[in-house]
């Protein structure tokens, strides 16, 4: 079944249109300046000391900063619609990869609401010690879900006083440090301290929150302007704050106090109770960011038919995806029942970091392959994006190896499932450009390598007319190719190109589609020429690119002697181009592929035998031809010659390492070669025989001989080896 999307590059937009400050900068910065700053920053400085703490902040923010540049690069190269991170990935790497990241990213945002609700409930216990955690978390989820469903604008406006509370808390903490400074904590607590990389793993999630603003892409007035300014600005501002807080905490208390007192801010601040509104505001704003961004990812998934379409609907009154919002709130409430979310939290972090990795790879690949359509207003060097992608993967393993592997396996499973749905979309992505770049590079390298007989593989150019009528011929070409080379199916139309009514590109596309439905991965071409011979010769010469050209031309048998004569004329001419030829005649009224015995009539290794044997071997490798017996048949006229030929064939079979049996026949007196072949090969499934090259003017007599030869035989494959490696292929 094939799923398709009718949307173009831009998904439906929200009714609300926010600017850079309200729509991107504020939610991003508030998510960055979260609970880790209040409850874990002192622990970090106390364990590793000031200088290492500054280095951890710098390393972590460097990855985030480059990632924000990568996001900006991709976002300024397209019209960004609803869906945030999912939109950017799906429009760059395709629906399958977008869905593989988007679905778990949506669930991660839904569970994040629960995590932040629990965090807020736990922090409230500092003031109300007896507060029940699960009921409090449930109430928090219900409230923010209802507010988000009513209006995104109202929800975002709440974040303005929350941001003010955060900076007030930083201010009172700074004032406390300046009023009574302690000796600086430069080296940490020493013995028993958490190591550098452990501390980095604990801290890193604190800087990943800049995507909160990206998630509201569809609600922005100008996403291509607001996403870069707001995201990069939030990352820079967060870095400045974290560096400043690191310095302040290093002079605020002894290392042991910083490590052991999670509420050290309260002890330091000149007005201690003002720490709590800032901490609560930071946690609540993170929950708000998730409840706003998550449903919009689901809305985009529904519009692309990855999720049920009902989740793509918006309320005509509020303009909000209310069904998606309520579902997100419901998932968050269900997660409350789990109670302890410590085992889930690392996996949630991994899903966000896989987006980091993916978006950096997208920006890096776009910059590397140089698609003409990739013209972002903000450019980032491809190697920087790749470095940030590598850094993201490294941090994933640092944080939690098991969670990292689990997240990758989940996304891989989703990708495989979405691929099985054969999804198509009306928008392009970078995959085609990436393949072009890889092909170009490979062809350039291939050109530098001299051809060798061991590298030969069948590159078949098949002329077969209407493939629906000659499907068995295409099937045989595919079997002979055995996925080692390329099969190009060509339909030759006689006439004048200016007078042809058919759309040739459409005919080729329809042929490709039909053959793909039959499980045949071939390439199709349609050509027009004044005569059949002229058209074939022109196509043979023009086929291929940069050394990757056809080396074997294949035809189906024709009952018309004139057409066979044309084949032999073509064979003589394309032989000058070092291209071999195959003509296949199927047995009438007989099912092909039931009696798996292949007979090769061997006339000598230096003629056509090597190519016939190699093609028979490739045919026997197919699943439909398992347990096939390959017989190499040879004819002699004396007993002494029979023994020598038998020994020669047996030795050759051992040397070429192909499973085959040799049979040498002594031609009896009065018996013709034709009679012997028909007698011995009538029960075979396929008979391989060589073709000679008739001289000019002798095509008619040779055609009559071939007609007589194949008349009473099963399927016959006639082979003329004209390659550079005739006699060397096995």
CA 92 – CA 74 distance, rounded (Å): 8
pLDDT in tens, 407-460: 888 888 888 888 777 655 555 556 677 777 777 777 777 777 777 777 788 889
What pLDDT is stored for residue 589 in this prediction? 65
Q: How many percent of the chain have pLDDT more than 70?
A: 93
Strands 715-720 and 580-585: antiparallel
Question: pLDDT: is 400 or 584 the higher one?
Answer: 584
CA 253 – CA 247 distance, rounded (Å): 11
- pLDDT confidence band for 688 (50 / 70 / 90): very high
What pLDDT is stored for residue 9 in this prediction? 45
Q: Closest Cα to residue 566, out of 509, 492, 504? A: 492
Q: How many percent of the chain have pLDDT more than 90?
A: 27
Structure tokens at 443: 């062809």
What pLDDT is stored for residue 231 in this prediction? 94
Question: pLDDT: is 669 or 321 the higher one?
Answer: 321
Q: Closest Cα to residue 259, out of 182, 199, 342, 305? A: 199
Average of per-residue pLDDT values in the chain: 85
What pLDDT is stored for residue 591 in this prediction? 63
CA 533 – CA 494 distance, rounded (Å): 10
What pLDDT is stored for residue 509 in this prediction? 85
What pLDDT is stored for residue 605 in this prediction? 55
pLDDT in tens, 604-622: 655 788 889 889 988 888 8
Residues 6+ apart with CB under 8 A from 413: none
Q: Closest Cα to residue 500, out of 488, 509, 492? A: 492
In contact, 598 and 628? CB cutoff 8 Å? yes
pLDDT in tens, 72-124: 998 988 888 888 888 888 888 778 888 888 888 888 888 888 888 888 888 88
Residue 1 has pLDDT above 50, yes or no: no
At 320 the three-state DSSP class reads coil
- pLDDT confidence band for 496 (50 / 70 / 90): confident
- pLDDT confidence band for 595 (50 / 70 / 90): low
Q: Which domains does the chain have, with CATH numbers?
A: 20-420 (1.20.1740.10), 453-720 (3.40.50.12370)
pTM: 0.72
What pLDDT is stored for residue 11 in this prediction? 47
What pLDDT is stored for residue 426 in this prediction? 52
Residue 655 has pLDDT above 80, yes or no: yes
pLDDT in tens, 3-49: 544 444 444 445 557 889 988 999 899 889 888 888 888 899 999 99
pLDDT in tens, 372-405: 667 788 889 989 999 999 999 999 999 888 888 9
Residue 634 has pLDDT above 70, yes or no: yes
Q: What angle do CA 264, 267, 270 make, to 5 degrees?
A: 130
What pLDDT is stored for residue 590 in this prediction? 65
- Say how many C-beta atoms besides its own lie within 10 A of residue 663's C-beta: 15
| Beta partners for residue 631, in sequence order | 599, 661
What pLDDT is stored for residue 10 in this prediction? 45
DSSP 695: P
In contact, 116 and 104? CB cutoff 8 Å? no
pLDDT in tens, 461-493: 999 888 888 888 999 999 888 777 889 999 888
What is the average per-residue pLDDT within 549-567? 92
Structure tokens at 253: 């208390």
Q: What angle do CA 490, 492, 496 make, to 5 degrees?
A: 140
Residue 339 has pLDDT above 70, yes or no: no
Question: pLDDT: is 3 or 293 the higher one?
Answer: 293
What is the average per-residue pLDDT within 225-243? 94
At 288 the three-state DSSP class reads helix
């Amino acid at each position: 079944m094939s799923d398709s999307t009718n949307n173009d590059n831009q998904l439906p937009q929200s009714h609300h249109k926010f600017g850079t400050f309200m729509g991107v900068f504020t939610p991003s910065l508030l998510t960055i300046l979260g609970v880790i700053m209040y409850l874990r920053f002192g622990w970090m400085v106390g364990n590793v000391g000031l200088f290492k703490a500054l280095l951890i902040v710098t390393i972590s923010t460097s990855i985030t900063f480059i990632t924000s540049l990568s996001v900006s690069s991709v976002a300024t190269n397209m019209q960004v619609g609803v869906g945030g991170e999912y939109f950017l990935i799906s429009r760059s790497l395709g629906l399958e990869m977008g869905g593989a990241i988007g679905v778990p990213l949506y669930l991660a945002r839904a569970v994040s609401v629960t995590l932040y609700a629990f965090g807020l409930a736990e922090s409230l216990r500092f003031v109300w010690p007896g507060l029940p955690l699960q009921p409090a978390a449930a109430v928090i989820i219900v409230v923010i879900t209802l507010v988000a469903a009513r209006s995104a604008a109202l929800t975002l406006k709440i974040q303005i006083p929350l941001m003010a509370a955060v900076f007030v808390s930083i201010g009172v903490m700074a004032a406390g440090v300046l009023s009574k400074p302690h000796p600086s904590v430069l080296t940490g607590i020493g013995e028993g301290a958490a190591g550098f990389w452990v501390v980095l793993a604990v801290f890193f999630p604190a800087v990943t929150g800049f995507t909160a603003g990206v998630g509201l892409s569809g609600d922005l007035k100008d996403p291509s302007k607001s996403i870069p300014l707001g995201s990069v600005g939030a990352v820079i501002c967060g870095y400045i704050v974290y560096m400043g807080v690191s310095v302040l905490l290093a002079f605020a208390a002894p290392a042991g106090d910083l490590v052991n007192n999670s509420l050290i801010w309260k002890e330091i601040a000149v007005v201690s109770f003002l720490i709590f509104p800032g901490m609560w505001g930071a946690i609540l704003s993170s929950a708000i960011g998730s409840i706003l961004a998550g449903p919009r990812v689901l809305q985009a998934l529904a519009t692309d038919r990855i999720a049920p379409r009902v989740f793509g609907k918006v309320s005509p009154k509020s303009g909000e995806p209310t069904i998606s919002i309520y579902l997100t709130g419901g998932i968050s409430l269900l997660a409350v029942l789990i109670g302890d979310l410590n085992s889930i939290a690392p996996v949630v972090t991994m899903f966000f970091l896989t987006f980091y990795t993916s978006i950096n790879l997208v920006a890096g690949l776009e910059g590397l392959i140089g698609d003409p359509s990739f013209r972002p207003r903000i450019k980032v060097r491809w190697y920087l994006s790749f470095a940030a992608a590598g850094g993201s993967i490294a941090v994933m393993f640092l944080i939690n190896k098991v969670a990292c592997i689990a997240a990758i396996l989940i996304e891989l499973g989703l990708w495989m499932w979405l691929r099985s749905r054969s999804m198509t979309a009306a928008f392009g992505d970078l995959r085609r450009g990436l393949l072009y770049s890889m092909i170009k590079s490979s062809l350039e390298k291939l050109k530098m390598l001299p051809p060798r007989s061991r590298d030969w593989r069948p590159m078949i150019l098949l002329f077969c007319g209407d493939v629906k009528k000659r499907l068995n011929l295409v099937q045989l070409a595919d079997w002979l190719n055995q996925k080692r080379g390329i099969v190009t199916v060509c339909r030759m139309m006689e006439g004048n190109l200016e007078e042809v009514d058919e759309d040739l590109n459409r005919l080729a596309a329809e042929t490709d589609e039909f053959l793909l439905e039959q499980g045949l991965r071939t390439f199709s071409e349609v050509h027009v020429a004044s005569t059949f011979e002229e058209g074939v010769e022109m196509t043979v010469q023009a086929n291929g690119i940069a050394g990757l050209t056809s080396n074997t031309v294949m035809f189906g048998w024709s009952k018309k002697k004139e057409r066979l004569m044309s084949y032999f004329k073509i064979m003589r001419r394309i032989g000058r181009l070092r291209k071999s030829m195959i003509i296949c005649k199927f047995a009438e009224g007989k099912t092909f592929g039931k009696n798996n015995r292949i007979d090769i009539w061997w006339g000598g290794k230096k003629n056509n035998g090597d190519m016939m044997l190699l093609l028979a071997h490739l045919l026997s490798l197919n699943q439909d031809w398992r347990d096939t017996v390959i017989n190499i048949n040879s004819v002699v006229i004396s007993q002494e010659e029979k023994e020598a030929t038998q020994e020669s064939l047996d030795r050759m079979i051992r040397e070429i390492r192909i499973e085959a049996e040799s049979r040498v026949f002594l031609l009896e007196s009065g018996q013709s070669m034709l009679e012997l072949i028909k007698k011995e090969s009538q029960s075979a499934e396929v008979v391989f025989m060589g073709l000679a090259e008739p001289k000019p003017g002798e095509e008619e007599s040779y055609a009559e001989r071939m007609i007589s030869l194949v008349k009473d035989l099963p399927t016959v494959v006639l082979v003329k080896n004209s390659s550079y490696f005739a006699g060397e292929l096995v």
